[in-house]
Structure 1
Amino acid sequence: MSASRNLGSVARDWRQRDVRVVLSALVIAVATVAIIALFASQLQRTLITSASSFLAGDRQLEAEHGQPIPPEWREQARSRGLETARMVEFATMISGGERFQLVSVKAVSDDYPLRGLVEYQPHPDGERQVLDHGPRPGEAWLNPRLMRLLELEVGDSVEIGNLTLKISGLLVREPDGGFNMAGLAPRVMIHADDVDATGVVQEGSRVEYINLFAGDEAALNAFHQWLEPRLEPSHEWESIRDGATLSESLDRAERFLLLGGSIAVLLASVAVAVASRQYAVGQRDTVALLKTLGLSGQRIGRMYLARLAVWGVVGMAGGLLVALPVYAFLNNLMEQVLEQDVPFVVDVPALAPALATALVSLFAFAYPPIRRLREVPAMRVLRSQPGEPDGRAWTDIAIAVVAIFGLVWLYAREIMLVLALIGGLVALLGILAFLGWVLVMGLRRVTGGGNAWRLALVGLYRHRRSSLSQIAVFAMTLMLASTLVLVRSSLLADWQAQLPEQTPNHFLINIAPEAVDEVEAFWDERGQGLDTVYPMVRGRLTEINGEPVRQVVSKDDSVNALNRELNLTWMDDLPEDNRIVDGAWVNDQQQEGVSVEAELAAELGVEVGDVLGFTVGSDTIAEPITSIRTVQWESMKPNFYMAFPPGGALEGLPATWITSFYLPPSQKPALNDFTRQFPTVSLLEVDHIIERIQQIVRQVTQAIEAILALILAASLVVMAAVVSATLQDRQREGALLRTLGGQQSLLVRSTMLEFGLAGLMAGILGVLAAETAVWALQYRMFGGEFRWHWAVALPIPLVSAVVLALLGRWQLRPVLQVSPMLLLRRLE
């Protein structure tokens, strides 16, 4: 019976304008947060799946000790619902015709690849095809460069060890052809069942066994927990996040999606707050009437609690009904934009923030003033005197801050994000308090008249409280939307800077010191100058401050740099994409010290002044850390964990040289000439990696644009809701002005100017607060370098002024279209 009364109450309430505004705001809030949360979750899954093709699966398990991975491990993975595949990689000599060539052989099982596709050509002039499998037993696919080196054609045979295989096509590209030393030699792909017949892989051979796994994230994590106690130091479990090539870009993209969802939560909170506060204030007379009829304060409180609860349920249901079809439309649109299948998945946990936003916002903003009204004597309420001290408003503010903080924390779980957004809002409110004082002092002497500007300024002063409230809400809305716009601009600029046009797409490794000048001359003759040529010495980090490194560093197995030799170098100048974060770069007179990459320094727990010991062959060296620097691993240029000064500790040690350069596709045949002239120099082609990274970045960019469009749409909805909250008072004043003889044109100009000025002030304040938030986010969360965004920020106040002026004009429609007397009667 109680439920039916509540539903009947909701039906009656729907006839009240304030209630319709509250319920509409709830529906919009739930729909906005749900759409963005579902869309961001889907984008995250899609980006990870797309990026996982770099591994040909969701996870890779590598064994570098020359022993196969136990087959029962794959059986355990399959029993947990995971897909599996296996690979074997080794280097060997291949013969074709009368020629021999050192190659990297990749043997794959039938299930390879689990993620991504293999790019294949049936013959050199044939169209490229994408396949979900490798060669069949008895067949071999050769890299096009290898075909030219051996002067072979499709249909010819090659010998690998004891086995003769038929060339059935060209291996153009493999999904997991990443940056590794195995890629230095031309690639041959064969079937895994043919490995034993070659006789190449023997006890003690340098061979790498790899198992691939793909499936649900929870199943992968559970399998890893089962697997971890069984892993040996030579085993390595990898995900796409473990590679420096893509992990940082993916992390930044996911953080942006997190930022977009958090801003959606805040915008939704603002919309519900404005509408529900307006409703609460309008309930004073109703509460007074109920008290005069004998209802107790407790009963009134329970009645409003039940009403708000029903509204919350209605708002959540309505929001979900709006969100799901829109999400389905966006999912289909995403398939077209990304040009790949995107399964429609409703991530139920992603809906939790949307539902929580509706309930928490409703009760945090609407119920506190209603709860206080039940304690006010009826006569004082009827006299429009709420009877509560102004200080009680601070309680509402405290509840609002706690509610907003909790909502954003529930969604983001990222303390820096929460503090940056809340800090920006607090700074904005402080500036608005000062602006209010300036507004009162500056506008109180303006008198009315027939001038539109005077009427606009008088209107701002006369409605100073509501104007400041509107400016505050507009500024907060613009701050949130501007934060997303500015962060998006910074991210895209950073990504474009990482992989500009003519990014180096080839590496030359193992250049002998005496061949450096000849190699440079070879490419200079062909108009392809090399980037900086760096010396490279292979050494192992063995000591920190005189103590064995494995005793100093806890959990050393997690520091991959301790399990292998490092590439050490010396250099005069700091590379342009490196940044010193502690200490100082070497000067011309300095010949001691070492510069350490920042992430490795953090893992090792070392700082400037600590002494590192290295073993290089039979030699040992020890040098103090003079600087710690960041390295942009995505730049596709030679990068090093350790950099020494010229003439320092590495002087006289055996070294080879490494460099990178850009080679357009049209000059690819020059690689064969180079290989013949410099057979000892290793050539690594990474153009396919760059293309894949650029594809991921394009997908991330499109995702960012989609989230940004949703947020901007939500911002417009919030601003319209704020304007709508004061619609009744504005229409009443407009009707009175018309009754007193005011011209329609004067009324339109003054109103649009009033709202335009409010929008301009809100835009300026919102952009300044957004820059403050972006400074914190860019520096601490996105790991970038902060810079002012004048080109993006300056138009925002102007756009804000125009949008609010148009919204003000929209408010006047009833005033201009309906008789003033009829409108005044309708508003009573």
Structure 2
Amino acid sequence: GSLVAGAVIVAAIGVVATWLGDSVQLGLWFAGGLLASLLVLAAASWGLLAVLERLPHWLPFRLPTAIRHGVANLHRPGVHAEAVLTALGVGVTFTLSVYLIQTSVLDQMIKSAPPEMPNVFLMNVTRAEAEPLTEYLRAYPGVEEVELTPTIAARLETIDGRPLAELNLGEDSRFAQTRGISWREDKPDEVDVLRGSWWTPEDTRSLVAVREDVAEELGVDVGSKLAWLAGRRNVEAEVANVFRAESIRPGASLHFMLNRAALEGAPAVFYGGVRIAPDKAVELQRDAFARFPTVLVLNAADVIRIVQDVVDQIAIVVQVISAFAILGGVIILTSSVVATRFRRVRETAILRTLGATRSRVARIFSVEFTVLGLAAGALGALLASGFSALLLERVLDASYEPALTPLFATVAGTALVANLAGWLASFRILGRKPLEVLRQE
């Protein structure tokens, strides 16, 4: 019964995520991630509580009375500590994951951009517009480093004569889809050739440069033959070199760069960027649009805002669901305190009769709630770090740099929430007089 109810809840949350994110795939990913988180947190909660139960016996010294009683209270019948840890942990996991991914993506976009990187980007430039637009920008006051990169939509068909389908790359491989390829005559400054050599403008052979990680994934090296389908035209080229590129460039991706001989005459769309004083960027946008109305001109602030909007849209979905998870944990904690109210009242009366002060009993309760909050926060923070690293490195092709401040702040915040929820349901217990309670026994 509980398994069926849990499955229904996860499915319902997936539907809500689909509706909020306007994406079935997003809903499925979120529901799957939620289910995995629940299973991992449930197992981790059970293991952690088992360790806490035995910890006082393993230590070579005696813990203070308040800590021993507070930890023992976690195993009181009706406390449902596992459920509290799981619910709070799920909320912490998804809330913190969104923050870590959001800040990592935007920070790396800003940090990885070299100082000379263009801050105004040009898109959808036709071949007929490329030359007059370049001349216009070079004559525009304050514009630096005008460069347009041609892009041709093409799909990789064969490697050394073997169709891609025979290479076991998988249907979801990024190279099984139509992507942009480009040509360059001179080697870009940000490119380091690892194997082979760059071509010269006089070379009439069809040549291609392949990025290091792409070469490893496809199993190609200098001398390999690659063939693309660009519209109705077959494009074949020999791998001239394998390179590494670290910095960001406007235009086509840097997976493949061909020489002009390989793509001569192919229909191309040009992309590029220029650098200008930030306070002149809006003026350049306006003037360029008036002269070339079909060209899309974006400044760096627009690009970052677009990325921020996309990330925020996903964040809203996750934060709404996370809020419900945290609220669920608070409700479970509060209800468990209420359910064990009479047992707590009786034990408090006995402790006070034996000489314990109200402050000592309060410390016992605080230890119980704090340990619950710290444990839930720590489990959620660890899981959030793992999820963030997985998504950033495997899906977003970015590096994950652990940020200790938000992790510790999250753990402390969860402990505070657990204390507030616990004391909200417990504060009247300390007000009962021991004699009044014992007379009712």
What's the TM-score, normalizing by structure 1? 0.39
- Partner of residue 272, structure 1: none
- Partner of residue 767, structure 1: 381
Kept after mapping to 2: 8 A contact 1:763/1:800: yes
Over 3 Å counting, the alpha-carbon distance change for 1:618 and 1:439 in structure 2 is: closer
Over 3 Å counting, the alpha-carbon distance change for 1:802 and 1:494 in structure 2 is: closer
1:546 matched to 2:161? The reply is yes
Kept after mapping to 2: 8 A contact 1:40/1:257: yes
SS at the partner of 2:57? helix
- Partner of residue 705, structure 1: 319
- Partner of residue 607, structure 1: 219
1:534 matched to 2:164? The reply is no
SS at the partner of 1:623? strand
What's the TM-score, normalizing by structure 2? 0.66
- Partner of residue 743, structure 1: 357
Superposition deviation, residue 815 in structure 1: 3.1
SS at the partner of 2:193? coil
Query: What does residue range 484-499 of structure 1 map to in structure 2 within 5 Å?
Result: 484-493=94-103, 496=106
Over 3 Å counting, the alpha-carbon distance change for 1:661 and 1:431 in structure 2 is: farther
Kept after mapping to 2: 8 A contact 1:511/1:658: no
- Partner of residue 31, structure 2: 258
Deviates more, 1:728-737 or 1:528-537: 528-537
Superposition deviation, residue 503 in structure 1: 6.6
Question: Which one-letter code corresponds to 1:685 in the other structure?
Answer: L
Q: Using the alignment, how far apart are the partners of 2:16 and 2:179 within structure 1?
A: 43
Kept after mapping to 1: 8 A contact 2:74/2:368: no
1:755 matched to 2:369? The reply is yes
Kept after mapping to 2: 8 A contact 1:739/1:820: yes
SS at the partner of 1:787? coil
Superposition deviation, residue 788 in structure 1: 1.9
Return the match for 1:799 from 398, 413, 417.
413
Kept after mapping to 1: 8 A contact 2:155/2:228: yes
Kept after mapping to 1: 8 A contact 2:376/2:414: yes
Return the match for 1:643 from 253, 256, 262.
256
- Partner of residue 121, structure 2: 504
- Partner of residue 295, structure 2: 684
Question: Which one-letter code corresponds to 1:476 in the other structure?
Answer: T
- C-alpha deviations, 1:517-568, integer Å up to 9, x for none? 7455224x2x344575435578885642135x589689x9999989989633
Query: What does residue range 59-208 of structure 1 map to in structure 2 within 5 Å?
Result: none
Superposition deviation, residue 643 in structure 1: 2.1
Question: Which one-letter code corresponds to 2:328 in the other structure?
Answer: A
1:586 matched to 2:201? The reply is no
Superposition deviation, residue 733 in structure 1: 1.1
Q: Using the alignment, how far apart are the partners of 1:538 and 1:40 within structure 2?
A: 33
- Partner of residue 787, structure 1: 401
Question: Which one-letter code corresponds to 1:594 in the other structure?
Answer: A
Over 3 Å counting, the alpha-carbon distance change for 1:666 and 1:587 in structure 2 is: same
- Among all aligned residue pairs of Structure 1 and Structure 2, give the percentage whose two residues are the same amino acid: 18
Q: Using the alignment, how far apart are the partners of 2:76 and 2:322 within structure 1?
A: 29
Q: Using the alignment, how far apart are the partners of 1:742 and 1:30 within structure 2?
A: 46
SS at the partner of 2:59? helix
Return the match for 2:239 from 617, 623, 641.
623
Over 3 Å counting, the alpha-carbon distance change for 1:630 and 1:464 in structure 2 is: same
1:818 matched to 2:432? The reply is yes
Q: Using the alignment, how far apart are the partners of 1:540 and 1:800 within structure 2?
A: 50
Q: Using the alignment, how far apart are the partners of 2:259 and 2:317 within structure 1?
A: 48
Superposition deviation, residue 767 in structure 1: 2.4
Over 3 Å counting, the alpha-carbon distance change for 1:543 and 1:784 in structure 2 is: closer
Q: Using the alignment, how far apart are the partners of 1:741 and 1:714 within structure 2?
A: 37
SS at the partner of 2:402? coil
Query: What does residue range 62-461 of structure 1 map to in structure 2 within 5 Å?
Result: 253-254=26-27, 257-258=30-31, 263=34, 408=35, 418=36, 422-423=39-40, 425-426=42-43, 429-430=46-47, 433-442=50-59, 445-446=62-63, 454-460=64-70
Question: Which one-letter code corresponds to 1:733 in the other structure?
Answer: E
Question: Which one-letter code corresponds to 1:492 in the other structure?
Answer: Q
Superposition deviation, residue 728 in structure 1: 3.7
Superposition deviation, residue 818 in structure 1: 3.2
Kept after mapping to 2: 8 A contact 1:596/1:628: yes
- C-alpha deviations, 1:242-294, integer Å up to 9, x for none? xxxxxxxx95x5466436xx64xxxxxxxxxxxxxxxxxxxxxxxxxxxxxxx
1:660 matched to 2:273? The reply is yes
Over 3 Å counting, the alpha-carbon distance change for 1:801 and 1:507 in structure 2 is: same
Over 3 Å counting, the alpha-carbon distance change for 1:569 and 1:825 in structure 2 is: farther
Q: Using the alignment, how far apart are the partners of 1:719 and 1:557 within structure 2?
A: 47
Superposition deviation, residue 481 in structure 1: 1.8
Kept after mapping to 2: 8 A contact 1:534/1:659: yes
Kept after mapping to 1: 8 A contact 2:181/2:256: no
Question: Which one-letter code corresponds to 1:622 in the other structure?
Answer: E
- C-alpha deviations, 1:685-738, integer Å up to 9, x for none? 165997887665554443333233222212222332444454443222101123
Kept after mapping to 1: 8 A contact 2:208/2:239: yes
- Partner of residue 567, structure 1: 181
Superposition deviation, residue 667 in structure 1: 3.8
Q: Using the alignment, how far apart are the partners of 1:778 and 1:494 within structure 2?
A: 8
Superposition deviation, residue 824 in structure 1: 4.3
Q: Using the alignment, how far apart are the partners of 2:286 and 2:332 within structure 1?
A: 59
- C-alpha deviations, 1:16-38, integer Å up to 9, x for none? xxxxxxxxx99x98997687455
Listed as ranges, the gaps of 5+ residues in structure 2 are 111-117, 199-206
Kept after mapping to 1: 8 A contact 2:154/2:181: yes
- Partner of residue 43, structure 1: 20
Question: Which one-letter code corresponds to 1:545 in the other structure?
Answer: D
Over 3 Å counting, the alpha-carbon distance change for 1:530 and 1:257 in structure 2 is: farther
Q: Using the alignment, how far apart are the partners of 1:552 and 1:472 within structure 2?
A: 49
Return the match for 1:734 from 345, 348, 352.
348
Listed as ranges, the gaps of 5+ residues in structure 1 are 1-24, 49-249, 264-407, 409-417, 447-453, 576-584, 676-681
Question: Which one-letter code corresponds to 1:607 in the other structure?
Answer: G
Q: Using the alignment, how far apart are the partners of 1:567 and 1:504 within structure 2?
A: 18
Over 3 Å counting, the alpha-carbon distance change for 1:754 and 1:456 in structure 2 is: farther
Superposition deviation, residue 638 in structure 1: 0.8
Kept after mapping to 1: 8 A contact 2:122/2:271: no
Kept after mapping to 2: 8 A contact 1:535/1:658: yes
Kept after mapping to 1: 8 A contact 2:95/2:319: no
Q: Using the alignment, how far apart are the partners of 1:560 and 1:775 within structure 2?
A: 21
Question: Which one-letter code corresponds to 2:57 in the other structure?
Answer: V
Q: Using the alignment, how far apart are the partners of 1:706 and 1:443 within structure 2?
A: 45
Q: Using the alignment, how far apart are the partners of 1:597 and 1:491 within structure 2?
A: 26
Q: Using the alignment, how far apart are the partners of 2:48 and 2:174 within structure 1?
A: 49
Superposition deviation, residue 483 in structure 1: 1.3
Q: Using the alignment, how far apart are the partners of 1:550 and 1:762 within structure 2?
A: 47
Q: Using the alignment, how far apart are the partners of 1:475 and 1:724 within structure 2?
A: 17
Q: Using the alignment, how far apart are the partners of 1:557 and 1:37 within structure 2?
A: 25
Kept after mapping to 2: 8 A contact 1:569/1:640: no
Over 3 Å counting, the alpha-carbon distance change for 1:775 and 1:543 in structure 2 is: closer
- C-alpha deviations, 1:103-137, integer Å up to 9, x for none? xxxxxxxxxxxxxxxxxxxxxxxxxxxxxxxxxxx
Q: Using the alignment, how far apart are the partners of 1:701 and 1:436 within structure 2?
A: 37
Kept after mapping to 1: 8 A contact 2:183/2:263: no
Over 3 Å counting, the alpha-carbon distance change for 1:628 and 1:822 in structure 2 is: farther
Larger Rg, first or second structure (1 or 2): 1
Alignment length (residue pairs): 408
Superposition deviation, residue 763 in structure 1: 3.0
- C-alpha deviations, 1:477-505, integer Å up to 9, x for none? 44322210122114433664698896736
SS at the partner of 1:594? strand
